[in-house]
Each structure stands twice: as C-alpha cells, then as structure tokens.
Copies of this chain bind each other. A is one copy, B any other.
Amino acid sequence: MRNIVIGNLKPLQNVSKNSSMVKFHVFSLNVTTHKAPEFIDITESIRKCLADSMVNNGTLNVYSCHTTAAIKINENEPLLLQDMERFLERAAPRNDHYMHNDFNVRTVNMTEDECPNGHAHCQQLLLGTSESIPIINGTLAMGKWQSIFMVELDRPRSREILVQIMGA
C-alpha cells in the first residue's frame, strides 16, 4: 500500500507574469575536454549567459551539438564525478564489440580521422542532449546541490554547447 502525500501547490506568484515583449537569445559555449568520460561543470558560464540576456522569467535550455557529448545535471563532488565516470565505462565498455568500430565493413559517415567510439554513442543514449531549467527573477531555479555538466564521452577535443534563453 502506498500512502502518497503531495503537498499543497505553492504558486510562486512573484514569477507569474504576462509579457507583451518576449526575448529569444542563444549563446554558443566552447568547451575544451581532456579525457573521456569527463564531467565538466559549465554552470558558471551558463549563469553569465543568463545575466547577459537580461531575461527575468522564462526557460533556459542547454543543448549539446554532439552525439558523443551529453548534458546532465548532478552534484559537483570530485569523488562522485569519478564514480559516475566509472559507472558510464561499465555501462558501455570501450573495449566491447561495436559494429560501428569495424572500419573494414562500415562505409557511412567515415571521416579522415575516424576513431572507434561505439561505446561513447551508447553512453550518450543513457544520458541525453538537452535539459530545460526555469528562470525565476533573473536566476536559475536550481537546487542547492545541482550543477550543469557537459559530459565528454569520446576523446579530448573542442565541443560546442548552445544556451538558449526565452522569456521576459
């Protein structure tokens, strides 16, 4: 038997707002990675985007432009980041067999510097490409322990993240 108790709804009245002028902003964020998997905390850079946008109420969407780099919100505790990196490695080991890595057979999307990265694509499946965060009174409405991470899954390189802000 479940006895579920859900508290009364608390409308945050100070952020209820009608606006006749909506702003749309997109920022591009370049991130240099050093290993894989690697959790890189991009929270402060995203806060700067929000400050630049002058948006007080609305939504901020963080979007990874890559198929082997993910967006995730979790806690920035250094030992935990190592735990989570090991967890991803175990979930889809680099040395498992992936047909995507068989360059004798594969013909599609082959590049000059193609590296075996089937594991990185499978790890990305478990994570995700975007997260949307409410903006309340000019600040990101994140919990005390939440940080926004770009997760490198493939190999060290330069990555592009988009930060989209809609609101008033």
Contact = CB atoms under 8 A, between A and B. Distances in A.
Given A40-B4, A67-B73, A143-B67, A17 B23 contact: yes
A79 B102 contact: yes
Nearest to A32: B5
A65 B19 contact: no
Interface of A: 2-12, 15-32, 34, 40-42, 45, 48-49, 52-53, 57-59, 61, 63-67, 72-80, 82-84, 87-88, 91-92, 98-100, 102, 105-106, 108-109, 118, 121-122, 124-134, 136, 141-143, 145-146, 158, 160, 162, 164, 166-168
Q: Could you tell me the dominant secondary structure of chain A's interface residues? A: mixed
Contacts of A136: 26
In the complex, the count of this chain's copies comes to 3
Contacts of A162: 134, 141
A100 B125 contact: no
5 contacts: A7-B30, A11-B25, A12-B26, A64-B143, A129-B131
Given A19-B24, A26-B57, A84-B125, 11 more contacts: A7-B29, A15-B25, A16-B23, A19-B21, A20-B20, A24-B58, A26-B134, A26-B141, A74-B124, A130-B131, A130-B132
